[in-house]
């Protein structure tokens, strides 16, 4: 039987789904898969992008763990592609590689003053509250009034995690340093800015509704934002999601807190629509002091145009949640404009000539950009896997496809990799840390601790 030795780079949902689909679907080849992950633990975005107070989505880990626990995929964690292992190494030892490295950086924003002290990318804050090992342990939560730019689910995650009281996170897997940081937060008002209207938001109804359930946080919406045009009314009438979103927002309009009249909560979460950020004003020390924004109005087709009316809101911190962006991988074509690996249905294309690059594939957010929910990654993986199977004639012909070659290579390079047994050890350790407080787990944050516990050292 023909053997297919496949490397997958990235052990998030995209990489694990691709491995699972290939192993389940393929009967013509004897498939063996090695999964490389730069972090010491698997699950990518589900572990390090989904907010700790979203256990339902975190629950996807159970399905991903079942795939890994079947034992037919080898994991090499704490292995950085480009330094610890290179494309040339993969060519020497595999028939093909799938890159499933996701999109973890923030999209750049051309906003004067966006680089001021106190202006943050959402991705960095998310990494902090999710205990990512590669970001600083401390996060400055010293601002009373904060602006969040964007109307997607990440903007809502960030706003909720800014407004939420630390003690309300104690039931979750939130790391100790994050709980301590949030406990001392000075925040009183979180202002979320959408450049279009309530009928054009990208966030989803469940995530919006959840904001209204936060303990000791009042929702504030503004009457002037609900003067709908025909396009908005059509969107509400024809799209169930938009209809529910409108219903939730309308229910907040009838509360005491509407138009900032003030409820009784100690924190407020304001939703501003039709507001396009124009400039971040700073104080003498270069710190965020105010957000200048232009009032927009509907353009009749679901978009927005400026009205010329400028407003200014005093704030002390700003979070930009306008989308994620992929990172280039050494030796692999990269589309700098869109932050993805150029590809046709997952088959990687060279940057200049648009020609197929044999042996190299992509799946997940690095393939199609940072849009869609985690489940969408499955159909994405199916498409990529189908091409790998059909492309048998153009697979790489590895010099040494033996299974022992990779551990030997990593050992020779002094890489302290972690494997599936190691992940089980870290998993059990985190679960044990949470047990005394009846929490599902408490995450271990420093990379060296994760590696040490995984390797049983």
The interface with ligand NAP within residues 316-355 (CB under 6 A) comprises 321-324
**Which residues are registered as beta bridge partners of 276?**
294
The interface with ligand NAP within residues 407-426 (CB under 6 A) comprises none
Among 102, 152, 346, 398, binds ligand NAP (CB under 6 A): 152
**Which residues are registered as beta bridge partners of 81?**
85
The interface with ligand NAP within residues 230-259 (CB under 6 A) comprises none
Q: How far apart are CA 231 and CA 198, in angstroms?
A: 12
Residue number, 202 or 425, with CB nearest to ligand NAP = 202
Residue number, 113 or 359, with CB nearest to ligand NAP = 113
| 109 lines the binding site for ligand NAP (CB under 6 A) | yes
Residue number, 27 or 56, with CB nearest to ligand NAP = 56
| 334-357 CB burial, b ≥16 within 10 A, e <16 | beeeebbbbbeebbbbeeeeeebb
The interface with ligand NAP within residues 368-387 (CB under 6 A) comprises 370-373
Among 119, 153, 159, 177, binds ligand NAP (CB under 6 A): 153
Q: How far apart are CA 153 and CA 130, in angstroms?
A: 16
Q: How far apart are CA 89 and CA 36, in angstroms?
A: 13
User: By C-alpha distance, which of 218, 220, 216 is closest to 166?
Assistant: 216
Among 149, 174, 242, 248, binds ligand NAP (CB under 6 A): 149
Q: Which stretch binds ligand NAP (CB under 6 A): 28-36, 213-221, 364-372, 425-433?
A: 364-372
Q: How far is the CB of 127 from ligand NAP (least distance, A)?
A: 13
Residue number, 303 or 358, with CB nearest to ligand NAP = 303
**Which residues are registered as beta bridge partners of 291?**
280, 313
| 44 lines the binding site for ligand NAP (CB under 6 A) | no
The interface with ligand NAP within residues 205-224 (CB under 6 A) comprises 207
Q: Which stretch binds ligand NAP (CB under 6 A): 213-221, 365-373, 391-399, 412-420?
A: 365-373
Q: How far is the CB of 120 from ligand NAP (least distance, A)?
A: 14
Name the residue with the smallest CB distance to ligand NAP: 152
Residue number, 5 or 164, with CB nearest to ligand NAP = 164
Q: How far apart are CA 261 and CA 290, in angstroms?
A: 22
Residue number, 15 or 398, with CB nearest to ligand NAP = 15
Q: How far is the CB of 12 from ligand NAP (least distance, A)?
A: 13
Q: How far is the CB of 115 from ligand NAP (least distance, A)?
A: 15
Q: How many residues bind ligand NAP (CB under 6 A)?
A: 25
Q: How far is the CB of 278 from ligand NAP (least distance, A)?
A: 10
Structure token digits, residue 447: 């990379």
Q: How far is the CB of 50 from ligand NAP (least distance, A)?
A: 7
Q: How far is the CB of 369 from ligand NAP (least distance, A)?
A: 9
Q: How far is the CB of 280 from ligand NAP (least distance, A)?
A: 12
CB atoms inside a 10 Å sphere around CB 322: 20
| 195 lines the binding site for ligand NAP (CB under 6 A) | yes
Binding site for ligand NAP (CB under 6 A): 54, 57, 109, 149-155, 157, 194-196, 202, 207, 277, 321-324, 370-373
């Amino acid at each position: 039987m023909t053997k297919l030795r496949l490397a997958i780079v990235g052990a998030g949902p995209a990489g694990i789904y691709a491995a699972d689909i290939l192993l389940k679907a393929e009967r013509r080849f004897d498939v063996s898969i090695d999964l490389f992950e730069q972090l010491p633990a698997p699950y990518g975005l589900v572990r390090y992008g989904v907010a700790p107070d979203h256990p339902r989505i975190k629950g996807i880990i159970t399905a991903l763990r079942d795939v890994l626990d079947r034992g037919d995929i080898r994991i090499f964690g704490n292995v950085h592609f480009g330094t610890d292992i290179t494309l040339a190494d993969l060519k020497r030892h595999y028939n093909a590689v799938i890159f499933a490295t996701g999109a973890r950086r923030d999209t750049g924003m051309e906003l004067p003053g966006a680089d001021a002290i106190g202006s943050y990318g959402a991705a960095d804050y998310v990494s902090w509250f999710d205990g990512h090992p590669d970001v600083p342990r401390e996060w400055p939560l010293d601002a009373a009034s904060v602006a969040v730019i964007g109307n997607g689910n990440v903007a809502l995650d960030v706003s909720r995690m800014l407004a939420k009281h630390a003690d309300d996170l104690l039931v979750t897997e939130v790391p100790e340093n994050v709980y301590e940081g949030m406990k001392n937060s000075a925040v009183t008002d979180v202002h979320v800015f959408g450049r279009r209207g309530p009928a054009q938001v990208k966030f989803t109804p469940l995530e919006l509704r959840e904001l209204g359930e936060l303990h000791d946080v009042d929702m504030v919406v503004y009457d002037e934002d609900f003067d709908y045009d025909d396009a908005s009314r059509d969107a509400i009438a024809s799209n169930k999601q938009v209809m529910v979103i409108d219903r939730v927002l309308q229910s907040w309009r009838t509360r005491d807190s509407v138009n900032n009249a003030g409820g009784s909560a100690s924190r407020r979460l304001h939703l501003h629509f039709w507001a396009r950020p124009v400039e971040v004003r700073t104080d003498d020390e270069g710190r965020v002091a105010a957000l200048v924004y232009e009032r927009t109005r509907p353009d009749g087709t679901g978009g927005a145009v400026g009205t010329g009316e400028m407003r200014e809101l005093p704030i002390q911190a700003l979070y930009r949640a306008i989308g994620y962006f992929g990172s280039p991988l050494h030796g692999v074509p990269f589309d700098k404009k869109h932050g993805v690996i150029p590809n046709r249905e997952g088959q990687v294309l060279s940057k200049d000539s648009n020609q197929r690059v044999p042996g190299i594939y992509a799946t997940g957010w690095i393939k199609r950009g940072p849009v869609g929910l985690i489940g969408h990654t499955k159909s994405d993986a199916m498409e990529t896997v189908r091409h790998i199977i059909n492309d048998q004639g153009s697979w790489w012909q590895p010099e040494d496809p033996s299974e022992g070659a990779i551990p030997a290579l990593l050992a020779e390079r002094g890489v302290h990799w972690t494997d599936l047994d190691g992940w089980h050890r870290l998993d059990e350790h985190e679960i044990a840390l949470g047990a005394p407080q009846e929490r599902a787990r408490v995450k271990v944050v420093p990379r060296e601790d994760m590696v040490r516990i995984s390797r049983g050292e």
